[in-house]
Structure formats: C-alpha cells, structure tokens
Amino acid sequence: MTKKIEFYFDIISPYSFLAHKKISEIEKTKKILFSYKPILLGGLHNLLEITAPAFVKSKNKYLSSDCMMVAKKYNIDFKFNDKFPISSLDIMRGLLIIDKKKIKDYINSFFEAYWSMNIDLSKKNEIIKILNNLEIDTDNFFFKIKDNKIKEVLKKLTHEAFQKDIFGAPTFIVNNKIFWGQDRLEYAVDEFEKN
C-alpha cells in the first residue's frame, strides 16, 4: 500500500480550507501523497451526537477571529463567509460524481469561492457559475447528485470516518494514527516522514 496522508474534509469547514491551503504549499516542496477524503461534517456531528461549534454562540464568534488569525500567520487569502454555515450537501455529493481528473480543481474552486471570495454557495446560480468554469455539465450534475446511490455513498464515507473515531474536520490519518485540526498537519507530516 502506498504511504499517504489521508485528509478528511468538508468544504463547509473553515479549518479544512486552511489545511487545504497548507497542503498545497507542502506539495510544492515535499513528496507527500495526500488523499482527499470527503465527509459530511454535519452528518458526522449527528452520529457523534454533539453540537457543532457553529451552533454554539461563543464558539461561532471565536471561530471567525481564530481563522482570520491563523490565515494571516500563514499568509492565506481568507474571508470568513458572511453566510456561514450553509449546507454543503450538494457540493460534497457532487465531488463523488464528477470526472476524476477534475476533482482537484473542483475542491479548490469551491473552497476558494466560499472561504476566500465570500460567495454564497447556498445559491444554486453561484454553484452553476463554478461548474461552468470547470466545464462540468450542470444538468447532468444536478441530476446525478439526486441519485439515491450517490446519497448513500456520502453517508457511507461519513459513517466510515465515524467508525475510524474521526470526530471533526480536518482530520489527517497517517499510519493509522489520527491527527485532528489544521494545527496538527505538521505532526502528520512528521509521522509520514518518520520511516
């Protein structure tokens, strides 16, 4: 099995975005294989029976200032989205049905739209604009993401994450060890480089 760092993420998660940007930087200088693993963070919180930080008033308030602080430190172009939180269901399902070659650009485009450009991705027309830029057939896209099989795949991926004791995003897994939070990416890289 090829050694890799698994990266569990949801487009809705600001810390996942920050981790994604840090990963892009790491990929420029290090030979590390990152495997992007989509999950639905809301679904994971439901399985855990916990309240998401976004729904605890003081935590939500802190979230934006903390993310801005981290983004500034790492020189990441970041704007806390005015419409946070929204449902990322369509976007995360879409990830499962598009051409594999487009996945990287798809993830990056939606992450940047939501966390750099402050775009309201709860609006279908905003999603369509991004899909058009990526040359993804929008009719086919919206038809396929309604397929029950696709719905089940995302549920399954989220449930698998839950069963692996993942409880938030971003989470990294290397050598079966869990690292939670963008703050832990460097530890995950250390673990990757250990042997």
Does residue 74 belong to the site contacting a copy of itself (CB under 8 A)? no
> Which member of 69, 122, 133, 156 binds a copy of itself (CB under 8 A)?
69
> Which member of 59, 83, 123, 156 binds a copy of itself (CB under 8 A)?
59
Describe the chain by its helix, strand, coil percentages, rounded to 5. Answer: 55, 10, 35
Both tokens of residue 27? 């990929």
* Phi, psi for 183 (deg, rounded to 5): -60, -20
d(CA 84, CA 194) in angstroms, rounded, equals: 38
Nearer to a copy of itself by Cβ, of 141 and 180: the residue is 180
d(CA 143, CA 193) in angstroms, rounded, equals: 43
* Contacting a copy of itself within 119-178 (CB under 8 A): 162, 165-167, 177-178
CB of 159 to a copy of itself, least distance (A): 13
Length of the chain: 195
Nearer to a copy of itself by Cβ, of 134 and 178: the residue is 178
Kindly determine how many residues on this chain lie close enough to bind a copy of itself according to the rule CB under 8 A.
25
Both tokens of residue 60? 């939500």
Contact residues for a copy of itself (CB under 8 A)? 48-51, 56-59, 61-62, 65-66, 69, 73, 162, 165-167, 177-180, 183-184, 187
